[in-house]
């Protein structure tokens, strides 16, 4: 497939609405891309997930690990929105707000809006997450332990607390009711007291919530109305997903998935906007593939090369510190994920990690029963476990590219790598990242 030049529009002067997502298992560098693009944004919306995400941003203010806050938060002219499809651990959120305050960034209601319907992660959600993982035994998902599955389950069951409950008079009664119910549920799940669990203390929790409510209250509002108003005024909106499409509850490698929607469906749920209004949906992928937690990963390298990429790429979970599983770039998986996420553009990150590699492989197809698929036909774990990856070896460039700022200044073999990957994914690569800092980015 040929990428036609007219499909490549400059991101340097983007307008309208851009959605940044991830075609595989997260951790591909959305944070960096959003921080970079946000300099032109009037509004930045985080669309899904919760504190299971860990978005790393390195810019003039320092290095930050963001879990809830949109990575556009460093642009003082942009209003950042946490959509109500994002679940919130209010204590972690306040810590994040404090980490920005320490860097001299005050977040008032002109800078941050927390959608009033966002569900709250409470201590019992983390306990249930842990208990469920213990019960799964060998089949565990390897969750981040942040209570994500249980809070989304409660949300589907139409129970639990939403962030606006913090500022309403009935909080005490609601919290009491919730704690009684959750304690019973946890005792049932932990029948025979197999797991030693932390105590949930009503008075202590209420006190801690009251303490942070004053901080959060001015930021809580209706987001849908405001997002709509921004679109009416033709403002530039950047939307940012958490996780990646292969972790999507419906389209991912179920059950080894998260509980939300990182693709364009998640954008729609979060913003209430017709996905057709999105000018560009950018799927961000590293030059290799990683995954945290269990579940299929066709190109995983359990050898010295995998170790080497993990070490150079510093592939350890931002949220949990766990070593990430590492493998060669999995193009059939990217094609599946990019398509399911509604992507029409690619950002390629961490290209510099291969600076010292003599050869670099990319997986170009999945082979099964003498058939070859250049796009994963299914994300079912059973299918992905039985395929054999076909690899193509490409020559490395063996020089430092981290200071390159123009596409044409990249070594020939680096450009060859990019163009080969682009052709095989079938979408234009429009942004290339050659280091963690904001400025280490190349427009194509």
Residue nearest to ligand IMP (CB): 293
Q: Does the footprint of ligand IMP cover residue 248 (CB under 6 A)?
A: no
- In the complex, minimum distance from the CB of residue 165 to ligand IMP, in angstroms, rounded to a whole number: 23
- In the complex, minimum distance from the CB of residue 442 to ligand IMP, in angstroms, rounded to a whole number: 25
Output 364 or 433, the one with its CB closest to ligand IMP.
433
Output 323 or 396, the one with its CB closest to ligand IMP.
323
Answer yes or no: are the C-beta atoms of 327 and 306 closer than 8 Å: yes
- In the complex, minimum distance from the CB of residue 124 to ligand IMP, in angstroms, rounded to a whole number: 15
Answer yes or no: are the C-beta atoms of 267 and 19 closer than 8 Å: yes
Task: Please list every residue from 124 through 183 that binds ligand IMP, using CB under 6 A.
Answer: 141-144, 146, 148-149
Task: Please list every residue from 45 through 64 that binds ligand IMP, using CB under 6 A.
Answer: 52-54
- In the complex, minimum distance from the CB of residue 432 to ligand IMP, in angstroms, rounded to a whole number: 22
112 beta partners: 80
Helix ranges, 217-297 (H): 223-232, 264-271
- In the complex, minimum distance from the CB of residue 68 to ligand IMP, in angstroms, rounded to a whole number: 12
Q: Which 8-state DSSP code applies to residue 385?
A: H
Binding residue (CB under 6 A) for ligand IMP from 23, 29, 123, 242: 242
Binding residue (CB under 6 A) for ligand IMP from 11, 19, 23, 25: 25
Direct distance between the N- and C-terminal alpha carbons of the chain, in angstroms, rounded to an integer: 19
Set 22, 35, 42, 55: catalytic member? 55
The token duo for 37 is 């693009």
Q: Does the footprint of ligand IMP cover residue 262 (CB under 6 A)?
A: no
- In the complex, minimum distance from the CB of residue 146 to ligand IMP, in angstroms, rounded to a whole number: 5
CA distance 319 to 260: 17
SS3 106: coil
316 beta partners: 323
Tokens 């556009």, residue located: 72
236 included as an active-site residue:
no
Q: Residue 195 phi/psi, 5° resolution?
A: -115, 135
Output 325 or 335, the one with its CB closest to ligand IMP.
325
Q: Does the footprint of ligand IMP cover residue 299 (CB under 6 A)?
A: no
Tokens 């942040």, residue located: 146
Set 6, 13, 22, 27: catalytic member? 27
Query: Mind giving me the DSSP string for 113-171?
Result: EEETTPBBP-HHHHHHHHHHHHHHGGG-----SSSHHHHHHHHHTT-S-BGGGGGSTTH
Q: Does the footprint of ligand IMP cover residue 271 (CB under 6 A)?
A: no
Burial class (CB in 10 A: 0-12, 13-18, 19+), 174: middle
Q: Which 8-state DSSP code applies to residue 322?
A: P
Q: Does the footprint of ligand IMP cover residue 292 (CB under 6 A)?
A: yes
How many residues sit in the footprint of ligand IMP (CB under 6 A)?
20
221 included as an active-site residue:
no
Answer yes or no: are the C-beta atoms of 429 and 442 closer than 8 Å: no
Q: Does the footprint of ligand IMP cover residue 376 (CB under 6 A)?
A: no
The token duo for 51 is 């504190």
Output 230 or 256, the one with its CB closest to ligand IMP.
256
Which residue, 179, 164, 340, 368, is CA-closest to 261? 340
Binding residue (CB under 6 A) for ligand IMP from 21, 85, 258, 271: 258
- In the complex, minimum distance from the CB of residue 226 to ligand IMP, in angstroms, rounded to a whole number: 26
What is the set of active-site residues?
Answer: 27, 55
Q: Which residues bind ligand IMP (CB under 6 A)?
A: 25-27, 52-54, 141-144, 146, 148-149, 242-243, 247, 256, 258, 292-293
């Amino acid at each position: 497939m040929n990428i036609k030049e007219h499909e490549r529009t400059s991101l340097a002067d983007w307008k309208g609405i851009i959605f940044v997502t991830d075609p595989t298992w997260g951790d591909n560098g959305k944070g960096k891309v959003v921080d970079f693009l946000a300099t032109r944004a009037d509004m930045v919306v985080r669309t899904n997930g919760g504190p299971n995400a860990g978005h790393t941003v390195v810019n003039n203010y320092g290095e930050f690990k963001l879990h809830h806050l949109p990575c556009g938060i460093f642009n003082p002219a942009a209003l950042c929105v946490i959509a109500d499809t994002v679940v919130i651990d209010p204590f972690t959120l306040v810590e994040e707000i404090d980490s920005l305050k320490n860097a001299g960034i005050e977040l008032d209601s002109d800078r941050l809006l927390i959608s009033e319907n966002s569900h709250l992660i409470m201590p019992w959600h983390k306990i249930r997450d842990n208990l469920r993982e213990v019960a799964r035994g060998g089949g565990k998902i390897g969750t981040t332990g942040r209570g994500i599955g249980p809070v989304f389950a409660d949300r589907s069951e139409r129970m639990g607390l939403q962030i606006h409950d913090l500022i309403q008079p009935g909080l005490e009664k609601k919290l009491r009711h919730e704690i009684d119910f959750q304690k019973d549920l946890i005792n049932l799940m932990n029948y025979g007291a197999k797991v030693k669990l932390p105590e949930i203390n009503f008075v202590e929790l209420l006190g801690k919530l009251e303490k942070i409510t004053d901080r959060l209250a001015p930021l809580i509002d209706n987001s849908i109305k405001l997002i709509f108003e921004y679109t009416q005024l033709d403002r530039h909106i950047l939307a940012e997903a958490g996780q990646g499409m292969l972790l999507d509850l419906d389209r991912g490698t179920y059950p080894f998935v998260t509980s939300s929607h990182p693709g364009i469906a998640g954008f729609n749920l979060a913003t209430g906007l017709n996905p057709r209004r999105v000018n560009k949906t950018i799927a961000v992928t590293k030059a290799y593939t990683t995954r945290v937690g269990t579940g299929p990963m066709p190109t995983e390298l359990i050898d010295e090369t995998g170790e080497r990429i993990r070490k150079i790429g510093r592939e350890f979970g931002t949220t949990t510190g766990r070593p990430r599983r590492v493998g060669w770039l999995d193009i059939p998986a990217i094609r599946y994920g990019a398509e399911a996420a509604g992507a029409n553009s690619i950002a390629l990150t961490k290209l510099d990690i291969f600076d010292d590699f003599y050869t670099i492989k990319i997986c170009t197809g999945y082979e099964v029963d003498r058939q070859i698929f250049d796009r994963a036909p299914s994300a079912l774990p059973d299918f992905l476990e039985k395929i054999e990856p076909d690899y193509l070896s490409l020559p490395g460039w063996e020089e430092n590219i981290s200071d390159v700022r123009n596409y044409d200044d990249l070594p020939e073999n680096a450009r060859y790598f990019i163009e080969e990957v682009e052709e095989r994914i079938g979408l234009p690569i429009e942004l290339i990242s050659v280091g963690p800092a904001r400025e280490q980015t190349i427009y194509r």
